[in-house]
Amino acid sequence: MHPQNKIEPRHTASFAMNTLLEIKNLHATIGGKEILKGVDLTIRAGEVHAIMGPNGAGKSTLSAVLTGNPAYIVTEGEVWLKGKNLLEMPAEQRAREGVFLSFQYPVEIPGVSMVNFMRVAVNEKRAYEGKPALSATEFLRLMREKKALVEMADKLNNRSVNEGFSGGEKKKNEIFQMAMLEPCLSILDETDSGLDIDALRIVSNGVNKLKTKENASIVITHYQRLLDYIVPDYVHVLADGRIVKTGSKELALELEEKGYEWLNN
């Protein structure tokens, strides 16, 4: 038995209805090395879950496995998204189903402009949902509206994806793309790393504005600082490939004060 289900859900009556993501006994390896050793986690619509833990605990592996990164192999366990078997889907289908990853290290893609990239991305998702493609005017209006959310410069459109962006710009660009794609489950992998306080505020504001009753977020972070801005409903500690402790947002403060070593005692 793992201890993470001790916290009672806030809306017990609607538990089954609102379950967005269910991870059961998830094991995963990379290069033959087992990183995830039995992760269980249930996420309901409207919730923000923080995942904290020491380096090498498997936090980024969890995000890679959920999004279908082919470098990782799932050896055991199940993941269900809105009742659909996530692990059977190729990465792009998971994205089209509404799983979004804000990368810890966003990839630079020289020669591919943001406007082209986003046009294909948005229209692929719409096609998957059976919606018609956006017209050029509608699309540019959407770009403008979502850029404002993270206070991004107008010249973004013709720049290559992440190429030459500062650390802060890259993270803003991730949240901008999240706004464009309106995911049901956002995984923010160390979105606070490399951000100064102003960029952190802008990025967090963007994330908070995108929060609805229908979507949920997993916030992966080392530091409590981010959780002052993006307030979690639950805090989980991932250590050595398992969730070893679950609590409310106060747990993050306790971890900040006592360090992860405290959990071993």
Partner 1 sequence: MVEQLIHTGERIDLVISDQEALDTVFVQEANSTLRIHLFRITKDGQPFNLNDTLHIRHDGTGCRTEIYALFLLRGTDKAALHTRVCHDKGQGTSAQIVKFILADEAQGEFFGEMTIAQDAQKVEAQQSNRNLLLSDTAVMRTRPQLEIYADDVKASHGASTGQLDESSLFYMQQRCLSREEGRRLLLRAFMADVVDTVEDEKKRQELMDAIDGII
Residues near partner 1 (CB under 8 A) are 67-71, 90-92, 95-96, 100-101, 103, 106-107, 109-112, 116-118, 120-122, 124-125, 128, 160-161, 177, 181
CB 200 to partner 1: min, Å:
23
Which H or E run includes 84? strand 84-85
Return the DSSP state at 112: E
CB 253 to partner 1: min, Å:
32
Q: Which residue, 52 or 187, is less far from partner 1 as judged by CB?
A: 187
Q: Sign of dihedral through CA atoms 123, 126, 131, 137?
A: negative
Enumerate helices (H) and strands (E) in the chain, giving the number of each.
10, 12
Q: Which residue, 29 or 160, is less far from partner 1 as judged by CB?
A: 160
Q: Which residue, 117 or 139, is less far from partner 1 as judged by CB?
A: 117
CB 122 to partner 1: min, Å:
8
Measured distance CA(202)–CA(198) in Å, rounded: 6
Q: Which residue, 100 or 165, is less far from partner 1 as judged by CB?
A: 100
Measured distance CA(207)–CA(229) in Å, rounded: 9
Q: Which residue, 11 or 131, is less far from partner 1 as judged by CB?
A: 131
Vertex 96, ends 157 and 232: CA angle to 5°?
Answer: 85
CB 130 to partner 1: min, Å:
14
Q: Which residue, 70 or 83, is less far from partner 1 as judged by CB?
A: 70
Q: Which residue, 56 or 90, is less far from partner 1 as judged by CB?
A: 90
Neighbour tally for 185: CB within 10 Å: 23
Which H or E run includes 265? none
CB 228 to partner 1: min, Å:
28
CB 176 to partner 1: min, Å:
12
CB 32 to partner 1: min, Å:
19
Measured distance CA(188)–CA(47) in Å, rounded: 14
Measured distance CA(78)–CA(28) in Å, rounded: 11
Neighbour tally for 160: CB within 10 Å: 16
What is the amino acid identity at position 146? K
Phi and psi at residue 165, in whole multiples of 5°? -75, 145
For 98-215, where are the E strands, in sequence order? 99-102, 109-113, 160-161, 185-189
